[in-house]
Amino acid sequence: MSTVLIIGASRGIGLELTCQYLEAGERVIATARNEADLVRLQAMGAETLRVDVADATSVSGLSWQLDGEKLDVALYVAGVMDRASAVTPPTQLAFDRVMHTNVLGAMQVIPQVLPMVEAAGGVFGVLSSSMSQIGSVPASNAWLYRVSKAALNMALVSARFDYPAACLVALDPGWVQTDMGGDAAALTLEQSVSGLRDVLNNLMPEDNGRLIHHDGRRAAHW
């Protein structure tokens, strides 16, 4: 039985990851912000921790909540979307909300969690996006979101040098039928998460620091 940490497990891809890993017989530690979500995750069979990645004080307590754990898989799934394009400057509130959740939260988590991933010789993944790839930008829609995911990729690629006993990967879930992706998205939650789990189960040493799509394709460029 592997131990899997899912940060941001209350809905969407994080919730489906929790469900599929539990169904596979793995031990899951899942984080959420509010009591109702924690109760639902507990009812599913997950162990739970209250963590709000947008609150620096809350995130700072993660390491002591996990004290003594060895994590085979740790996933930073928490994220928020902003759909505005470059015709409008982002407000300070929007910038802080997106960058804090999508980037700063992950950068605060990494130093706390990666030693526990290294202890298991495990994998740490962040939920990125194909929209993070600078070499293939088709438009300016969701430009703040794009910037945040590109920054998240850089944080991950940089961090891998300090944690050589772990494998760090950025994961593109594809366009998924979630609150963020909408009903018209190409992939169901089950399809996307099943693909992500296959990717995580079949990583090679050369995948360390790479962006990998849900169907196993390795990104040719960032």
* Phi, psi at 38, each rounded to 5°: -65, -40
- To the question of domain 3-213 being in CATH 3.40.50.740, the answer is no
Task: State the Cα–Cα distance between residues 21 and 143, nearest whole angstrom.
Answer: 33
Cβ contacts of residue 115 below 8 Å, gap of 6+? 163
pTM here is 0.94
Q: What is the pLDDT along the chain (222 residues), one digit of tens a residue?
A: 999 999 999 999 999 999 999 999 999 999 999 999 999 999 999 999 999 999 999 999 999 999 999 999 999 999 999 999 999 999 999 999 999 999 999 999 999 999 999 999 999 999 999 888 888 888 888 999 999 999 999 999 999 999 999 999 999 998 788 777 677 767 898 999 999 999 999 999 999 999 999 999 998 767
Report helix, strand or coil for 62: helix
Q: In the chain, which ranges are continuous DSSP H helix?
A: 12-23, 35-44, 56-60, 62-65, 92-99, 105-120, 143-159, 189-201
Locate the domains of the chain by residue range.
3-213
